[in-house]
A and B are shown apart, each in its own frame.
Chain A
Amino acid sequence: MDELTSGELKRLGDSRMLMQREWSPCRYHCPVHADVRSYIELAARGRWREAIDVIRERLPFASVCGRVCHHPCEANCRRAGVDEAVAIREVKRFVSEQQGASGATVRRVVQDKAPVAIVGAGPAGMAAALDLALLGYRPTVFEKFAVAGGIPATAIPPYRLPRDVLQQDIDWICAHGVTVVTGVEIGKDKTLADLKSEGFAAIVIATGLALSRTLPIPGANHERVYPVLDFLTAVCSDRAPRIGSDVVVIGGGNVAMDAARTAVRLGATRVRAMCLEAEDEMPAWDWERSEAAEEGVGFIHRRGPTDIVIRDGRIVAVAARKVTRVFDADHRFDPRYDDADVVSVECDTVIMAIGQTADMGFLAGSPLAKDTRGRLTYDSATHQTSDPSIFACGEIVTAPGSVVEACASGQRAAKGVDLFLSGKPIRLADALPPVIGEMAPDTAAKVSKSPRNAVLQRAADERRRDSLPIDANFTADAAMHEAQRCMGCGGGAEVLIDKCAACLTCLRVCPFDIPVVTDVARIESSLCQACGMCIVECPANAIVSRSWDTREEIGNTAARLAGAGAGPKVVAYINGYHAPAAAWGASAEDALPGVLEVWLPSVSRLGVAEMLRAIENGADGIVVVAGYLGGDRYPTVRERMARRVEQLRAMLGEIGMNPERIQLVHCADEGRDAMRRAIVEATGKIAAC
């Protein structure tokens, strides 16, 4: 990456733009590239409202993804090299559900551009519609079901995704001028040609994979053999199908797990999932499999059904042969069987959950081309089908994926539509900034450990009896403390090489031994822990923060001091690492008279310059509330802060001001009451100056 100069920083305008030069892995690996680090940073300071806006900037299905996302952000979280990944999804869940649909900003733009029709109100279609609305188009989404949301609405069981949670996302999207018409199936109630003649300038096909695959085996058309989507959709529509007491789910993926766990909840006494794969080969997530097992789902591995045995019109068993292998040497799906080894698995109900396929019904009466395998012809570079005004996105044209992947596909298609309708060639820029590399183990070893906050999950015995969510949202405190575990990857120090004097101060104050100084200092972003110690101590002001900067607080503090009226004014800078979420809110009734509290994630970035400015801006004194030894998230901060306070006291002494105006207390980790007592005592000393 290019080295930074003060001229380039000036050109960028804001040091936060530096975050664009290199992405943290959570953002990089997120399919919609949500600015994870930024919203986690806001959540870490209890700024929920700002956090949800950052999330929704890129992710329209924030609430849904808070519940069901496969979270590649967490899978790539660098905190895993220290202890455990940050529970990003759970923080998002708390933030988005706490804010609801109305708690996030709606950015309405003038929609004076052409109308665009979207077929299918799933994540891909709704994401495309939202982006088109934000670009000034007038999107109308046609949905065959009575509810918008696609698979999350019709096939994700409510114990994983409550309907009201999904509705938050739908409502927020629709507030942007997205019209959803439900109960209209394209290809049946209307054709694509009808949409064109109704004046839609472009059409986006986002119908997903709406049909369940089934096996062409004897007995498969029995009424108690349910294609999995039919089964789940019926449950989600409160029309639960009649099942027997002994259910076999055929399949080993996540949808099969949803079906099995749903069958448990419908009262089946025995539910077993039969799959070709051995336990470690199953496509279902480990956690989904283990949660199913806790709820009593049994597993029959390495068996392939050959026959659904029906006696007297009722299912009595599934005959299944031994699977000798699932994948070939190149790990391609290519199962082999031993026909001599066949077992009979007793059951009275079968759910087929072996995958989904596209419902091509929307093509009725349309000349859109299909490929030799019957799939919609589509150019992945432009999202266009054989008709350049008809686009496709989501699972109908991509591999089966998750909600967030569908959103990404829809957003990309929306860009294609915009370029097409603007008469421009469709070139979609997919290039990303480089991602921050892995952290060296000896650096990881210096980071303070902090265990991941657990989500409270209901006991399996209890949760299997109802369709209520299986786990609880974080509390505000847990969400904040979990967010505070974020290491702020890439939000650390950046050297302005034209100002650096190679004085070695950064190297000497860094608690993690990261800077390397040759002609100038270099601070490797993959190693920097973003404590900000070097930023504060650099004598040349040659190191800037890529993320939050205590200097931002100068303006805030000045404004608060100006608005504080007459009477004594003390600024308390507080290390909030140990404080409850409510304290960060600094509610008026909780505030001590004459004290302006400035809450910081650590006092590591609180420098003498900031504190001096507060005095200059009218503060009578300053109380720094730091932690005891080890009470700050970063090593050596306590000692360094003590030196800064001594320096400031000496500076005041030099100009005839009483050094006692600056007070340092160490009780940030002792709770709010202790903190208040300490501030009151310190304020008393300041008042006596």
Chain B
Amino acid sequence: MIVAERKPMDEIVAMLAPHRKVLVLGCGGCVTVCLTGGEKQAELLAGQLRLAARQAGRTLEAAFDCITRQCEREFFDNLTEDPRTYDAVLSIACGAGVQYMSELYPEVPILPGMNTTFLASNVAGGVWEEYCRGCGDCVLAWTGGICPITQCSKSLINGTCGGTNNGKCEVNPEMECGWLRIYERLKALGQLDNYRTLRAARDHRKDRGGGVRRLVLKDMAESQESGNE
């Protein structure tokens, strides 16, 4: 799932400064699950913004709404509030939702309430940790199920580097050396051959080097023109 964290309040307040009537829009997808951008958070943030405006001697009308996912067109039909009747929308979805909504409502400023951070798994109640970088070329089959792109701060594919110190990373001493973990895991699996195999340089066109990535499923894909009708 995608984790996003709310932006610092000062930044949000500055962003909203020109506006008098704002809709805070939650997303019922990933950000609800990570407890930062669902309907409850939209409700709380709207209240907080009204109070902040009052503190600053301004008036701000702030309502809230939430839809199932801000990254799908059809769910916008379920809005109870009409974004076009607001000066701006503060979306607390991930960046995908904010941009997608901007395309759907070109006449309305859609502002990001969140910083979208990482692809995560839940490691404890209320705790999420990055597990995947979305690199487009998964190597987990030969790294013992531990991602070197994510877990190594240098994203090496032929680890370890010389900077491992008693199992910790030289970049971030709080962080375990990902490649040491991979080594231990492969050893336990009896797969150290995988560790000894030299891997070729990665094809960064599959990652961010090739521009916007798309997934087109031939058997399901509609033309975007018909989808926009």
Contacts and interface: CB of A to CB of B under 8 A. Distances in A.
A612 B39 contact: no
Given A508-B125, A656-B55, A540 B39 contact: yes
A616 B54 CA distance: 9
Interface stretch (A309-317, A372-380, A390-398, A499-507): A499-507
A613 interface: yes
A612 B64 CA distance: 15
Contacts of B55: 655-657
B104 interface: no
A541 interface: yes
Given A539-B40, A539-B41, A655-B52, A501 B32 contact: yes
A8 interface: no
Interface residues of B, number: 25
Contact of A612 (B9, B38, B44, B54): B44
B39 A499 contact: yes
B66 interface: yes
Given A499-B66, A501-B33, A652-B51, 7 more contacts: A539-B41, A541-B38, A541-B40, A615-B51, A655-B52, A655-B55, A656-B52
B66 A540 contact: yes
Nearest to B37: A539
B203 to A, nearest CB: 35
A310 to B, nearest CB: 84
Nearest to A501: B32
Interface string A577-609: 000000000000000000000000000000011
Interface string B1-23: 00000000100010000000000
Given A540-B40, A541-B39, A612 B33 contact: no
A272 B38 CA distance: 73
Given A508-B125, A540-B66, A501 B29 contact: yes
B133 interface: no
Contacts of A652: 51
Contacts of B87: none
A654 interface: yes
B33 A651 contact: no
Interface of A: 498-499, 501-505, 508, 538-542, 608-609, 612-613, 615-616, 651-652, 654-657
18 contacts: A499-B66, A501-B32, A503-B34, A505-B35, A539-B32, A539-B41, A540-B28, A540-B38, A540-B39, A541-B43, A541-B66, A608-B44, A612-B44, A613-B47, A651-B44, A652-B51, A654-B9, A656-B52
B185 interface: no
Contacts of B54: 616
A502 B33 CA distance: 7
B50 interface: yes
A609 B52 contact: no
A655 B44 contact: no
Give the one of B9, B32, B43 with max A CB within 10 A.
B32
A7 to B, nearest CB: 10
A493 to B, nearest CB: 15
Interface string B52-81: 101100000000001010000000000000
B32 A540 contact: yes
Nearest first, the 4 closest Cβ-Cβ pairs linking A and B are A655-B52, A539-B38, A654-B9, A503-B33
B48 interface: yes
B122 to A, nearest CB: 8
Contacts of A616: 47, 50-51, 54
Contacts of A612: 44, 47-48, 51
Interface string B198-220: 00000000000000000000000
A447 B41 CA distance: 31
Contacts of A615: 51
Contacts of A651: 44, 48
Give the one of A504, A616, A654 with max B CB within 10 A.
A654
Nearest to B122: A504
Give the one of B34, B39, B51, B55 with max A CB within 10 A.
B51
A503 B30 CA distance: 9
Nearest to A499: B28
A609 B41 CA distance: 9
Contacts of B35: 503, 505, 539
Give the one of A504, A539, A542, A656 with max B CB within 10 A.
A539
Contacts of B125: 508
B48 A503 contact: no
Contacts of A609: 40, 43-44, 47
A609 B50 CA distance: 13
A501 B38 CA distance: 9
Contacts of B50: 616
B138 to A, nearest CB: 25
Given A501-B38, A505-B35, A655 B47 contact: no
Nearest to B52: A655
A651 B66 CA distance: 21
Nearest to A502: B33
B76 to A, nearest CB: 15
Contacts of A505: 35
Contacts of B48: 612, 651, 654-655
Nearest to B31: A539
Nearest to A651: B48
A651 B44 CA distance: 9
A503 B32 contact: yes
Nearest to A612: B47
Contact of B39 (A502, A504, A539, A657): A539
A508 B33 CA distance: 12
Contacts of B43: 541, 609
Contacts of A540: 28, 32, 38-40, 66
